[in-house]
Amino acid sequence: MAIKIKRNEAGNCITFEGSSNPVYWNSCLSGEVDSVDNTLINVVNDVITAQSGVKQYEFFRIPFNNFIDAEGSSFIDAQSCSDYITQEANVLGSIGEQIATSTDVFNFYLDSKDNTVIMSTGDYFPVNTIQASLHSDNTMRINSVIGVKTYYSNINLSNVSINSAITTGTDNEKIDYINSLFQSTGASTGSAPLVTSSLSINIVEGDTLNYELTADFGVGYEWDLSSVSGVVNVEGNARKIIGGSSLISGVYNIPVKVINYNGEDSKTIVLTVDVPDFSNSKSVQFQQNDYLNASATEVNNVFGRSSNGSGQAWSISTYFKAGTHNNSVQTIMFAGGNNATSNPSVLLYWEGNHAGRQNVSIRHGSAYNYIEKSTPIGSVSNNGQWNHILVTFDGGTTGNSSTPLSQYYSRFKIFLNGVEQSTINSHQAFGNASAFNIQVFRVGRWGTGTSYLRDSCKLDELSFWNSDQSSNISEIYNNGAPFDLNSLINVPNHWWRMGDEDTFPILSDSIGNTNLTMNNMTVADIVTDTP
């Protein structure tokens, strides 16, 4: 069946009788000969193409002899068919007024240069060449500024939008508003724009902004986005801004100006980017030879000391879940000299299932001179439970044969799950009176030796302070619920989330600058088992 190209009686639309395609307004379409086969016709929707930037076809690669003109005549070739379609679809000004129906929808906007009025029908006019008027039946007409030409009549004002926003107010106010877009000489009673949308925006760090400004009588919209990196204006909708997922927490001011020919309204949008709610969903597991290491430079500011009793206190906090291996010394954390045997160090370890001990110990000193405190036997078992560990040191003396050992032991405290432990105490050669120079920092491995954490031991939320935090145990333990340590009055010097917000193989220091590197491990060792 042939497709007849025919205009409607009013002369403002083109139809393709014999096809399922809808009726098209004037100036919507143009024909073209297919670039590959010159016997085929394409019909382009020019309006949608201009809006999207991508060519939109209403017919694609149709043989030209499938079309006939309004009189039923065939075309001699594809070019004549294409030319006829373009001519019949773009006859504005050559016919009488185009009469709208009560349901026809009209949207008006300016081009990017603000010098051309574009209609959703596909028609366009230079600014200051057309004007809107209110007819006695309360419908709108669009007339030429010079002469008495009427382009459109019988337009239902309830169906009229500017920049996709339905016009508001009385009929006369709507006409004034529309004329403020059409021409610079709108009625003196026209209304200046008024911003009506909220001036406050709240998003969470990492989220994407999606904000659309609304304004009565708004025509033009000018945004100053210089202070909000990554925030952009939506193409085709000057009222809308999106983006901003890279913005850090803080408050940002976004100036905006709404304009029409009767005035302007300048506002400042206040964008607040909040820190995301705390979430703990990851931990790190250790198998046979797994460990973490990092530069010891900053860690030395925590665990190093210039001399015996120099007052350089520290604290260690972490969540620990025991594995099943029987090794007697499984290192949780080591910070010490290059020679792990003779140089003094801070060593936190789990005793494993060796002799049924299953407890944690803190050793301060070298293999030959140390003070050591251990939690009770069986206090940290491999029962599948997480335990919070806090170890503190008050910075006092830790070695001198003339001083009672009890004083050295008293420098250290161990808390399990918020409770200070009665400890098993031991020593070698009355402790260690040396300066501490931290040159090696490891998690899950002792010094340069072995003594690894094994068989799925897990660590989470490891943090260090260069101060004694024993008085703050209740806040740090928080009833066993990990939380944002930045919220503490005494913020730690270093904090590793152990998988959360990390990218394998680096475990980021959330507060300091000492990132940990995963060794002999895979991304699968960042697990979803958490306290």
**CATH number for 262:** 2.60.40.10
For residue 91, what pLDDT band results from cuts at 50, 70 and 90?
low
pLDDT at 521 over 60: yes
pLDDT at 28 over 90: no
**Nearest alpha carbon to residue 124 among 26, 211, 49, 32:** 26
User: Domain range for residue 85?
Assistant: 3-89
Tell whether 309 and 356 lie within a shared domain. yes
Tell whether 341 and 474 lie within a shared domain. yes
Under 8 Å between Cβ of 35 and 61 = no
Check residue 11 and give its pLDDT: 60
Under 8 Å between Cβ of 280 and 530 = yes
Tell whether 62 and 112 lie within a shared domain. no
Tell whether 120 and 229 lie within a shared domain. no
Under 8 Å between Cβ of 501 and 473 = no
Check residue 118 and give its pLDDT: 82
- Could you tell me the CATH number of the domain that includes residue 362? 2.60.120.200
Check residue 354 and give its pLDDT: 74
Check residue 94 and give its pLDDT: 42
Q: Which residues of 45-77 are buried (b: 16+ CB within 10 A; e: fewer)?
A: bbbeeeeeeeeeebbeebebebbbbeeeeebee
Highest mean pLDDT of the ranges 155-169, 349-363, 410-424: 410-424
Under 8 Å between Cβ of 514 and 295 = yes
d(C-alpha 203, C-alpha 244), whole Å: 9
Which residue type, as a one-letter code, is found at position 510? S
Tell whether 109 and 73 lie within a shared domain. no
Under 8 Å between Cβ of 45 and 56 = yes
Q: Are strands 150-155 and 98-99 parallel, antiparallel or unpaired?
A: parallel
d(C-alpha 197, C-alpha 218), whole Å: 12
Tell whether 461 and 366 lie within a shared domain. yes
d(C-alpha 415, C-alpha 469), whole Å: 11
Under 8 Å between Cβ of 238 and 162 = no
Tell whether 217 and 130 lie within a shared domain. no
For residue 41, what pLDDT band results from cuts at 50, 70 and 90?
very high
Instruction: Kindly state the average pLDDT of the residues 176-186.
Output: 68
Quote the pTM value: 0.56
- Asked if residue 74 belongs to a domain, the reply is yes
Max alpha carbon distance in the chain (Å)? 120
Check residue 186 and give its pLDDT: 33
Under 8 Å between Cβ of 477 and 415 = yes
